Amino acid sequence: MASSQPEAVSTPRLARRLGAFDATMLVMGGIIGSGIFINPYVVAEQVHTPALILGAWVVGGIIALAGAFIYSELAERLPQVGGQYAYLREAYHPLIGFLYGWVLLLVIQTGGMAAVTVTFSRYFLELTGLRLPEASVAVVALAILTLVNCLGVKTGSTVQSALMVTKIAAIVFLVAAGFFFLRVPQSHWLPIADRPASIGLLSEFGAAMVPVLFAYGGWQTTNFVAAELKNPRRDLPRGLLLGVAAVATLYVSVNFVCLRALGPAQLALSHTPASAVMNAAMGRIGGTIIACGIAISTIGFLSQGILTAPRVYFAMAEDRVFFRSVAWVHPATRVPVVAIVLQSVWTMVIMLTGRYEQILSYVVVMDWVFFGLSAGCLFIFRRRRVGDAQLKMPGHPWSTAVFCLICALVVLNTIIRFPANTGIAISILFSGIPMFYIWRRMNRIR
């Protein structure tokens, strides 16, 4: 007994300090970045009537809500640190979980964060009028957020929640301005489609869904911090469903006012639709307000990513399939400091080398491969009777199978449209296979 006590003291664990509100804000913060302020025009380029444009965002919200139901049940059945990594590891094989963490660090999380950091620095410089290099502002922003999240999970969550509330206020203000300050609506809601129903129309709608699904992605990241929620079996499912439903409401509302203010043709031509709406509604001051909102939205997204994703690398290190130092938890703050710093440093490397735009094209295919595999975990966990869940996926197994099919179609569409980039993404994925076995051998895992 005497010999075990020092080991327990010298090995601090992650602290359970987050509640239901924190979980909801993390879900919303993981989804809402800068995309909703920009992506409406990308959708309008593919489909050309208000009904189809708005329909794409509604369908995207339904798919995201289905994903939230699946992940909420997975979270109840296996409320472990690393979330998606843990589900893949337990359902399939430790290698599959490792490969997810591998591409999360090298591509998915850091590539997206690098692009968003650059977006923040551009808006920050535009608003302040400072003449500084974009890269310098981006590095400082990342460093500050990294420091905040190293001070403790509750500190990081409090900052992230405050940014998320401000972000919601900016979106609500945009919607209100579109409703109350624009007197002449531009859109006509009939006809539903600009041409008869056909395979070509279906293909266009599918293309419109790509930026929509990209904008809705991110609900799964809150599952990474399951081990730091006070009551993960209760609060994580609630946070997932409330957060995704709230985001879907905000997204549909933003697109409604964009269509109302600009009409589908003008929306397709406006690469900054949120700014166009605010300029039309309130003039120059409106443009400044929405620029502030976008800057806050991007920094909030970064804060959420720095708080959540490092828990995956921490879980990998605890499983001894990654650098052991990454599993170190600070004894005072009770957070995985090395994992947090590792992710931020790699994000800076990607950003400073200017490769983030290329890496972003890899994100969709990798994200949706693992969304589909994670949804498949639900079939396995139910068959094995892993844990239990009060809030279950409605309509399972058929609804879950449809979600998996949608994931497969998104991946297939991305492969067809971007074969070269998809090939690079798959190469990065497969490069993790020898690394997994090297780390297992180094740590003598059998």
State the CATH number of the domain containing residue 149.
1.20.1740.10
**What letter would DSSP give residue 222?**
G
Among residues 43, 40, 34, 32, which one has the least CA distance to residue 255?
A: 40
Give the model confidence (pLDDT) of 356-403 as tens digits. Answer: 656 666 777 888 899 999 999 999 999 999 888 787 888 999 999 999
Specify the pLDDT at position 260: 85
Identify whether the C-beta of residue 308 lies closer than 8 Å to the C-beta of residue 113.
no
* The most confident of 51-60, 151-160, 201-210, 349-358, by mean pLDDT: 51-60
Specify the pLDDT at position 235: 86
Q: Is the pLDDT of residue 257 over 80?
A: yes
Identify whether the C-beta of residue 281 lies closer than 8 Å to the C-beta of residue 261.
yes
Identify whether the C-beta of residue 421 lies closer than 8 Å to the C-beta of residue 107.
no
Average pLDDT of the residues in 306-310: 89
Residue with tokens 């809705």: 216
Q: Is the pLDDT of residue 351 over 80?
A: yes
Specify the pLDDT at position 11: 63
Distance, CA of 178 to CA of 254 (rounded, Å):
9
Distance, CA of 88 to CA of 289 (rounded, Å):
43
- Structure tokens given for 289: 């307000």
**224 contact partners, CB below 8 Å, separation of at least 6:** 81, 82, 83, 84, 85, 308, 309, 311, 312
Q: Is residue 11 part of a domain?
A: no
Check residue 87 and give left, alpha or beta (phi > 0: left; psi -120 to 50: alpha): alpha
Identify whether the C-beta of residue 371 lies closer than 8 Å to the C-beta of residue 119.
no
Identify whether the C-beta of residue 280 lies closer than 8 Å to the C-beta of residue 266.
no
Identify whether the C-beta of residue 309 lies closer than 8 Å to the C-beta of residue 340.
no
Specify the pLDDT at position 96: 96
Q: Is residue 91 part of a domain?
A: yes
Distance, CA of 259 to CA of 34 (rounded, Å):
19
Q: Is residue 2 part of a domain?
A: no
Residue type, 409: L
Boundaries of domain holding 43 = 16-442
Helices then strands, counting H and E runs in the chain, come out as: 19, 0
Q: Is residue 311 part of a domain?
A: yes
Identify whether the C-beta of residue 279 lies closer than 8 Å to the C-beta of residue 61.
no
- Structure tokens given for 99: 């490969």
Q: Is residue 300 part of a domain?
A: yes
**367 contact partners, CB below 8 Å, separation of at least 6:** 108, 217
- pTM of the predicted model as reported, rounded to 2 decimal places: 0.86
Identify whether the C-beta of residue 174 lies closer than 8 Å to the C-beta of residue 257.
yes
- Structure tokens given for 57: 């965002």
Average pLDDT of the residues in 233-255: 90
Number of domains observed in the structure of the chain: 1
> Counting beta carbons within 10 angstroms of the beta carbon of residue 264, is it exposed (0 to 12), middle (13 to 18) or buried (19 or more)?
buried
Q: Is residue 334 part of a domain?
A: yes
Distance, CA of 62 to CA of 39 (rounded, Å):
18
Specify the pLDDT at position 405: 93
Q: Is residue 369 part of a domain?
A: yes
Identify whether the C-beta of residue 373 lies closer than 8 Å to the C-beta of residue 70.
no
Specify the pLDDT at position 7: 39
Distance, CA of 68 to CA of 217 (rounded, Å):
10
Hey, is 117 helix, strand or coil?
Answer: helix
Q: What is the CA radius of gyration of the chain?
A: 22
